[in-house]
Each structure stands twice: as structure tokens, then as C-alpha cells.
């Protein structure tokens, strides 16, 4: 079985970076020539895609959660999940703000101000996206969440595969310690070479 969550999460995370950049560009243009409804509608539609992708990522994460809990502590998964929920709900609020300049017909100053607030919100949600992605990366690369999908004869993760995540993390710590120890002893072995 292929996990769906890793396939979906990249869309909202990428849009969380793209939308603020486009919104800032649209605002810079707006301060000189007025807020273009067409340009702002593109920003709004991309934010809508972010929100839809975010809800799909939440749903797929829930579907994958039981399997991943076999190899990763539930508390680590919960931290990632809660971060993802904050990101998606904040993005939904920003989507609502982004709709307002499209609905306000007359007051240009009001449209610019609301668009500015929405842009600031999109920058904040980008920070939430980075935090969520970081926590997801920790699950996969540090806690071994991907091991939940390692095929075995029984069709599930063996105890040996599940223990590998802990072994890998321990080995990383030992390698770091060895690197620090080796860093100060570089010249010791060179003395023997000079006698030849």
C-alpha cells in the first residue's frame, strides 16, 4: 500500500510559499495603479487551492495515522497533526480575507487595506506551513515513519524494521560523537609518515 499523505502535502506547502509572493507583487502594483481584480482573483484562487489541498492533506494524514503509529510515537504524530490543523485553519481565514477585496466594489483604499491584511496573513501561514513540513520531515527522517510502509512477508512492518528507526538515530548520535573526537586528533597519525 502506498501512503497517500506524502503525495498530497506538497501542493499546499508549495502554494503557501507562492501565494504570499504573488500577493506582495499584486499589492506593490496596487499602491501605484489600484488593486487589479483580475490579479487579486488569481491570488484568491491559488489560496483556495492551498486550502483544498490542506484539507486533503489532513484527511490523508488521518488515513495513514494508524499504520504510522506502529513505528512512531503517537505524541510525535499529534504534534505534526496539530501543526497541520493550525496551518489549514489559518489559511482558511486568510482565504476569507482575500475574498473581501473582490466583493468590495467602490472603496479602493478599503480594498487595498484588506488586501494588505490578507497578504500579511498569507505570510504568517507560510511560517505555519514551514513548521508543519518540518514536523512531518522529522517524522519521516528522524523517527522512521516511512518504515510503516516497508513490505515484509507478513504484509506489515516487522519488529526488526520498526527497531531500525531507533538504531539509525542512535548511530547518528555515535557518528556525531566520533566526528567531534576525530576533529581534534588529525595530526597524530601524520607523525609516522614523516619518518619514511
pLDDT digits (tens, 9 = 90+) for 27-79: 998 888 888 889 999 999 999 999 999 999 999 998 888 888 888 888 888 99
Cell 486568510, located at residue: 94
User: pTM (2 decimals)?
Assistant: 0.74
Cell 504570499, located at residue: 20
Task: Note the pLDDT of residue 35.
Answer: 83
Task: Note the pLDDT of residue 178.
Answer: 59
Q: How confident is the model at residue 158 (pLDDT cuts 50, 70, 90)?
A: very low
The answer to whether residue 106 scores a pLDDT higher than 70 is yes
Question: How many other CB atoms sit within 10 Å of the CB of residue 165?
Answer: 19
Q: Which has more confidence, 93 or 140? A: 93
Residues 97 and 91: their CA atoms lie apart, in Å, by 10
Contacts of 78 (CB under 8 A, 6+ apart): none
Q: Which has more confidence, 15 or 179? A: 15
Residues 131 and 21: their CA atoms lie apart, in Å, by 18
Task: Note the pLDDT of residue 122.
Answer: 97
Residues 139 and 79: their CA atoms lie apart, in Å, by 10
Point out the least confidently predicted range of 33-47, 137-151, 181-195. Answer: 181-195
Give which of 80, 54, 59 is closest to 145, Cα–Cα.
Answer: 80
Q: How confident is the model at residue 155 (pLDDT cuts 50, 70, 90)?
A: very low
Contacts of 181 (CB under 8 A, 6+ apart): none
Point out the least confidently predicted range of 79-88, 99-108, 120-129, 182-191. Answer: 182-191
Residues 124 and 91: their CA atoms lie apart, in Å, by 9
Residues 158 and 154: their CA atoms lie apart, in Å, by 8
What cell does 41 get?
482573483
Amino acid at each position: 500500500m502506498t501512503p497517500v499523505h506524502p503525495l498530497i502535502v506538497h501542493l499546499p506547502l508549495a502554494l503557501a510559499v507562492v501565494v504570499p509572493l504573488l500577493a506582495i507583487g499584486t499589492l506593490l502594483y496596487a499602491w501605484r495603479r489600484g488593486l487589479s481584480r483580475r490579479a487579486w482573483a488569481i491570488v484568491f484562487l491559488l489560496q483556495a487551492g492551498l486550502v483544498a489541498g490542506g484539507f486533503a492533506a489532513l484527511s490523508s494524514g488521518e488515513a495513514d495515522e494508524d499504520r504510522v503509529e506502529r513505528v512512531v510515537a503517537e505524541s510525535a504524530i499529534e504534534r505534526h497533526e496539530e501543526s497541520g490543523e493550525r496551518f489549514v485553519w489559518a489559511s482558511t481565514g486568510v482565504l476569507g480575507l482575500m475574498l473581501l477585496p473582490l466583493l468590495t466594489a467602490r472603496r479602493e483604499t478599503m480594498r487595498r487595506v484588506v488586501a494588505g491584511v490578507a497578504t500579511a496573513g498569507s505570510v504568517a501561514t507560510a511560517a505555519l506551513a514551514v513548521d508543519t513540513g518540518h514536523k512531518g520531515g522529522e517524522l519521516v527522517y528522524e523517527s522512521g515513519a516511512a518504515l510503516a510502509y516497508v513490505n515484509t512477508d507478513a504484509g506489515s512492518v516487522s519488529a526488526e524494521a520498526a527497531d531500525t528507526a531507533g538504531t539509525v538515530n542512535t548511530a547518528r548520535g555515535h557518528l556525531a560523537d566520533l566526528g567531534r573526537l576525530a576533529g581534534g586528533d588529525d595530526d597524530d597519525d601524520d607523525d609516522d609518515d614523516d619518518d619514511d
